[in-house]
Chain A
């Protein structure tokens, strides 16, 4: 149980393109979803937290107009990197959590984004 599917796993595109990444919880209701970014040899860094049906909460230094997050249902959250540039190239990974206390976050497989 507790499977999270993230798609696509790899994206290579030109500078200026917008890229959408989907994160789905397949067998549980994800009341909260998290989006992380990881640069080489660095830790997973939280970008934003989204709760179903409400606006995402962004971490300091993360541009909300650049990284659009939608969490319209209890099983789906999307991250759209708008007008991506080479410096946005990174590994993006989502996780999902339900309301039960002291449960771990369940992660997707991640998306490797390369902007040319």
Chain B
């Protein structure tokens, strides 16, 4: 059973604050690490697919880093806005498989 852990489980930040959260995953047999944003009553939206150790990807105010040797990825949000409120999911994909193993997510609430 693959272990994908996300922390914190939830957090509240003030509008304008920057924040970050963590995804830890197995450091062996790595193929890719996915990040999704899941707003209430909508479908999960793909943010990043990360494959290379040391990768850093950016989409607007959101960025992510990847360390495959130690098995973690950070997601950063700069200058949080209320519309960033959502659950952020990471998912591990192992080599030789199309399947994703998801973490439980980090629920972000941005207070106006």
CB pair A107 B44 closer than 8 Å = yes
A-B contacts counted at CB < 8 A amount to 47
CB pair B100 A46 closer than 8 Å = yes
Chain B residues contacting A106 (CB-CB under 8 Å) are 43, 46
CB pair B89 A97 closer than 8 Å = no
Chain A residues contacting B104 (CB-CB under 8 Å) are 41-43
Kindly provide the distance from the CB of A115 to the nearest chain B CB, expressed in whole angstroms: 22
CB pair A105 B100 closer than 8 Å = yes
CB pair B98 A104 closer than 8 Å = no
* Chain B contact residues: helix, strand, loop or mixed: loop
Interface-centre pick from A43, A95, A103, A107 (highest chain B CB count, 10 A): A43
CB pair B49 A102 closer than 8 Å = yes
CB pair B98 A97 closer than 8 Å = yes
B side interface size, CB within 8 A: 20
Complex partner residue of B46 from A32, A45, A105, A110, CB under 8 angstroms: A105
A34–B101 alpha-carbon span in the complex (Å): 12
29 A-B pairs, CB-CB below 8 angstroms? Answer: A6-B43, A32-B98, A34-B98, A34-B100, A42-B104, A43-B89, A43-B102, A43-B103, A43-B104, A43-B105, A44-B102, A46-B99, A46-B101, A93-B43, A93-B44, A95-B44, A97-B98, A102-B49, A103-B49, A104-B34, A104-B36, A104-B49, A105-B34, A105-B100, A106-B46, A107-B36, A107-B44, A109-B41, A109-B43
